[in-house]
Amino acid sequence: MPNITRITGFILMGFSAAPELQTVCGLFFLVIYLAVIMSNFLIIALITLDQKLQTPMYFFLNNLSLFDAFFISVPIPNFFINSITHSNSISFLGCGFQVFLMTSFASGEVFVLTAMSYDRYVAICCPLHYETIMNSGNCVLMVGVSWATGILFGTLYTAGTFSMPFCGSNVIPQFFCDVPSLLKISCSDTLVVIYTSLGIGVSLGMSCFICVVLSYFYIFSTVLRIPTTKGQSKAFATCIPHLTVFSVFILTACFVYLKPASDIPSISDRLFSVLYTVLPPALNPVIYSLRNTDIKCALKRLQQNICPSSSLHATVQSICQWFYGSHFTSKFCNF
């Protein structure tokens, strides 16, 4: 029986065996990838350059966009290259690197989303102490813990997964390397290391989920006691985007990791993985920009600074109005 030292690479299953369809799928995902990258880095640029967005909420959103951009950059470019070259192979080291990066960025994003829920809780339930609690030092600490914890989980999962021997088929029933797919082709009888890592990950994931649920329980209880409808709408407007992003990310992850294992690979498994890897990074910029007045105003200020001439200003203005709608006007912004 061949052991892990004899395996020099794996074969990733694409979405089609036909070369023409492989190319079409690769180009389709490339377009989506470029749109996601540009939209997330646009948000990063707006938050970084605009002084009016230097608040804890947008500091966390900045890091969330970074996680999204890095997360989708792990599987999609490699899938595009494989689709164009019609080669689905990936080296042993490259597979391990994919597992490490995707696990790190996914774990870090969960912790950032949890920190964002705490930020909303303090802002709505403890507004008088907001500046004291959510000072720059605490915000940097929470984000630093998110990045460090993500890297720690990435190391644990990668070490646990690749400490097992692989035998038989080296075909991974997925379009990227992930832990569930690698477990299917492992011939190890003892999975203590990986199950321990999974147990720790599930425990902390459930802890983050409970923290978010409790935060929004107190948030909604406080908001419903606000006497004016306008005040309630303003409070909900700052919470609903984050709650939507968190729900999409958790639900798509559950589809991938909690779906019952099947011995026969199916196209539905890879479609669920597309939802997990592509949908959250693609939706986050839309959710946080289309209904966020601060982001729209920052975009307007940025395009005015970059394009001061009347012709360029009018062109960018028309693009912004097409993207955001006819209500994209300066009356919403304080310049």
pLDDT tens string 256-286: 776 665 556 566 667 777 878 888 888 888 8
What's the helix, strand, coil split of the chain in %, to 5? 75, 5, 20
Residue scoring higher pLDDT (231 or 320) = 231
The pLDDT score that the predictor gives to residue 148 is 93
Helices (H) then strands (E): counts for the chain: 12, 3
The pLDDT score that the predictor gives to residue 10 is 83
Residue scoring higher pLDDT (173 or 316) = 173
4-291 has which fold?
Answer: Rhopdopsin 7-helix transmembrane proteins (1.20.1070)
The pLDDT score that the predictor gives to residue 317 is 57
Tell me which residue of 244, 271, 239 sits closest to 256, measured CA to CA.
271
Residue scoring higher pLDDT (287 or 120) = 120
Q: Which amino acid is at 273?
A: S
Judged against a pLDDT cut of 80, whether residue 213 lies above it is answered with yes
**CA separation for the pair 54, 50 (Å, rounded):** 7
Find the mean pLDDT for residues 135-153. Answer: 92
- Model-level pTM? 0.83
The pLDDT score that the predictor gives to residue 49 is 86
The pLDDT score that the predictor gives to residue 88 is 82
Across 14-23, 103-112, 176-185, 231-240, which has the greatest mean pLDDT? Answer: 103-112
What sign for the dihedral angle of Cα 50, 51, 57, 63? positive
Q: Which amino acid is at 209?
A: F
Judged against a pLDDT cut of 90, whether residue 66 lies above it is answered with yes
